[in-house]
Amino acid sequence: MKCITIKKGVDCAFMSSNGCSYDGGECYPIVEKCEGCQRVREFEGKIYCNSYPDPAAKWDHGACNFATHIQATVDKSGQVKINPLKASKRAARGR
Ligand code: SF4
């Protein structure tokens, strides 16, 4: 169903005929780690993720799996390693 709260017109699984069913009843702005991601969009003067309602939660347990600006890998000890190389390569190509 299309959002009628913050991301007006965007299809969203949390939108229902009773309004937004996500925790708090609306989306949350992006966090610093989201900067550079291609899923970032501005709605009414604030910056949100076009794919997920709570960007901070996506980074709580390592790296966001939807992010387009980083490459995350898990090392042998189970630690998540974030490689921003993708972003710098993209910037070098002028995108
Ligand atoms: S996809 Fe992940 S990294 Fe990109 S804006 Fe959304 S929450 Fe942030």
Per-residue pLDDT reduced to its tens digit, 4-33: 999 999 999 999 999 999 999 999 999 999
Count up the domains in the chain and report the number.
1
Identify the pLDDT of residue 88. 61
Asked whether residue 52 is domain-assigned, the answer is yes
Please report whether residue 58 resides in a domain: yes
Pocket test for ligand 1, best of 10, 22, 64, 82 (most atoms within 8 A of CB): 64
> Does ligand 1 have an atom closer than 6 angstroms to the CB of 50?
no
Whose alpha carbon is nearest atom 8 of ligand 1?
A: 34
- CA of 24 from ligand 1 middle (Å) equals 19
Q: Is residue 9 part of a domain?
A: no
In a domain, 27, yes or no: yes
The pLDDT score that the predictor gives to residue 90 is 65
Determine the pLDDT at residue 67.
93
Q: Which of 58, 65, 69 to mutate to test the pocket of ligand 1 (most atoms within 8 A of CB)?
A: 58
Amino acid at 33: K
Residue 62 has pLDDT above 90, yes or no: no
3-state helix, strand, coil in the chain (%, to 5): 15, 25, 60
**Residue 1 lies inside a defined structural domain of this protein:** no
Show the domain range for 60.
15-92
pLDDT at 52 over 60: yes
